[in-house]
Structure 1
Amino acid sequence: MPASIESLQFNGLSALALNTPDGSRAIVSLSGAQVLSWTPARDDERLYLSPDAVYDGSVAVRGGVPVCFPQFAGLGKLPKHGLVRTQPWTIAEQRAGKDYALVTLRITENDESFAVWPQQFTAELTVVIEDGRLNIELELENTGHAPFAFTAALHTYLRVREVENARLEGLHGYEYRDAADHDRIKRDSGDVLMIEDETDRVYHSVQRPLLLRDGGRSLGIHSEGFPDVVVWNPWEHRCAEMSDIPANGFRHMLCVEAAAARHKIELDAGENWVGRQSLIVL
């Protein structure tokens, strides 16, 4: 049986389910082009999705892989994390082969986005599952007549069994901005990153793959085009302030995000930019 793509409703959201013959499955919402679930073959769910997430479109769904564009976090005058997380995207392509499934979703500027960010653009998000791997690619094109600049991220929520036991490897020696400590610039000196308190870091110019060890499971994390890596866990006190995540939700999630956050990316008219994140079961 070849791979397949099916339309479905996910908590009231129109979505697509990508399936491969080995039993891998991913669910992508047309609202925000957000990957909501990824279950590799013979494995457990690898993305965290809050059981208290809101699906009415008033806010982004808490979990999965929200798309941040044209602004990451509050680093600018636009709404936090940009303008496309709760917008409807359209299907540009869907394709299923012998052992892979692929979907590309697209959004362009609209009256709502133009009112706060008067730029013309096309954004496409391509999701591919195959052979224990989830690939997400964000392509942005300046379709206007003047340059614009942006920041962006794939805000990936990874599911972990117990965050205090998780180990993130590959960030040794990199400089980072610590938003949990008054935006101080620091340098990572540990062999592994362990989460023991609120963590909100933007690592700069990361050039090596990362490895997340979660008990007996390991996940490779690789990005291209995105120069930065964001590592975020709200911990107990921040988690308690959020209405769309359980009080203990922080224990089962760790955001490891592919990002362009430190410096804005500039696109001239007619130019495009591509950033990717790959998650690989090891």
Structure 2
Amino acid sequence: MHAHSLFSHDTPCIRIEAGGSSALVSLHGAQVLSWTPADGRQRLFLSERATFDGRAAIRGGIPVIFPQFGERGPLRKHGFARIRTWTFAGIENDEAVFTLAGDGSDGEWPHPFIARLRIALSATRLTVTLAIENTGDAPFIFTAALHTYLRVDNIAGVAIEGLQGCDYEDSAGGGTLHREHNYEVTFDAETDRIYNDVVAPLALIDGEHRLDIEQDGFGDAVIWNPGERLCARIGDLALDDWQHFVCIEAGQVLQPVVLEPGETWSGMQVLAA
């Protein structure tokens, strides 16, 4: 694996290359902005209207959600990890490692911690692992996710396999609970669901293309597409962007993690082209 620093979108980034595959990671949020496997087809969606001012969240790629998912708690939506500057710690065991640490003096999050994001590449796979270590002397509670935006040709031809039999919370429908009876999840309106106890591999079917998705450590899978009406109200998306991405997020949302002093939690998502 090779890595080098550069500026892209006017922001400091690290480009990682291995096996004919490449990924671009912004130090702002340790956010994977692009992933092109050896076949040359970009698999991640990044909005052309994304903000790169070093303060706002970047719309697209793989935002790191920590220590709070969404508005499920007192912190800012989706926490602070995606808007902080991370440190590139180099290559360890053929993984690019990014770190974010807090000493407990932060008024927003008064708990000492180290977050580590590890990124591994091969010709056909992208593996992203988020690890949270409690470096303090008291337990803390958090939720987390990898908020992965996947590029698709047209949402009308998209289906997600592997969620049949899972219970889900319908966030777009007022938080009601349901069970998924369909073999394929398809999209014809705003979709925002948190699927629980996801163990089977998932597959994103995009016309003639397929992306296999696995996760470990994360108990939930969040499926999101804003649909036409919500997309029109999101300033950093173009009007038709909803047709060109779907989020399949590996999350630990419905069952928050209680992390004891000295303990480390980790969750992983694997994308395979």
By the TM > 0.5 criterion, same fold?
A: yes
The aligned runs of 1:185-264 (5 Å cut-off) are: 185-264=177-256
Q: How far apart in 2 are the matches of 1:17 and 1:73?
A: 29
Q: Aligned partners of 1:87 and 1:188: how far apart in 2? A: 36
Find out whether 1:65 has 2:58 as its counterpart: no
Aligned twin of 2:11? 13
Q: How many angstroms apart in 1 are the aligned matches of 2:2 and 2:66?
A: 29
After TM superposition, the score normalised by the length of structure 1 is: 0.94
Q: Encode CA deviations 1:56-91: one digit per residue, 9 max, x unaligned.
A: 023111000000000001111110001111111112
Instruction: Name which of structure 1's ranges 154-163 and 11-20 shifts more when overlaid on structure 2.
Output: 11-20
- Secondary structure of the structure 1 residue equivalent to 2:255: strand
* 4+ residue runs over 4 A deviation: none
1:150 aligned partner, one-letter code: F
Residue number in structure 1 paired with 2:97: 104
Aligned counterpart, 2:108: 116
Whole-Å separation in 2 of the counterparts to 1:82 and 1:209: 27
1:93 Cα offset (Å): 2.4
Q: Gaps (5+ residues) in structure 2?
A: none
CA contact (8 A) 2:231 2:241 kept: yes
How does the TM-score come out when normalised to structure 2?
A: 0.97
The answer to whether residue 78 in structure 2 is matched with residue 81 in structure 1 is: yes
Q: Which amino acid aligns with 1:264?
A: P
* 1:190-249 residue CA offsets vs partner (Å, 9 max, x unmatched): 110001100000001111110111111110000000000000000111111111110000
- Hey, what does 2:29 align to over in structure 1? 32
Distance 1:66 1:45 in 2: 17
Distance 1:61 1:121 in 2: 23
Deviation (angstroms), 1:102: 2.6
Q: Distance in 1 between matches of 2:95 and 2:241?
A: 30
RMSD of aligned C-alpha atoms?
1.3
Moved more, 62-71 or 3-12: 3-12
Amino acid of the structure 2 residue aligned with 1:35? V
Aligned-residue sequence identity (percent) comes to 42
User: 3-state DSSP class of the match of 2:107?
Assistant: helix
Partners of 1:128 and 1:163 in 2: CA distance: 28
Cα 1:169–1:184 change in 2 (3 A) is same
The whole-number CA distance in structure 1 between the counterparts of 2:89 and 2:18 is 20
Q: How many residues align?
A: 273
Say which SS state the counterpart of residue 115 (structure 1) adopts. coil
Asked if structure 2 preserves the Cα contact closer than 8 Å seen for 1:18 and 1:102, the reply is: no
Gaps of 5+ in 1: none
- Tell me the alpha carbon deviations over residues 143-197 of structure 1, each in whole angstroms, 9 at most, x when there is no partner: 0000001000000000000011111000001100001101000111111000110
CA drift of 1:43 comes to 3.1
Equivalent position amino acid for 2:101 in 1: T
Alignment-mate amino acid for residue 8 of structure 2: F
Amino acid at match of 1:11: H
CA drift at 1:110: 5.6
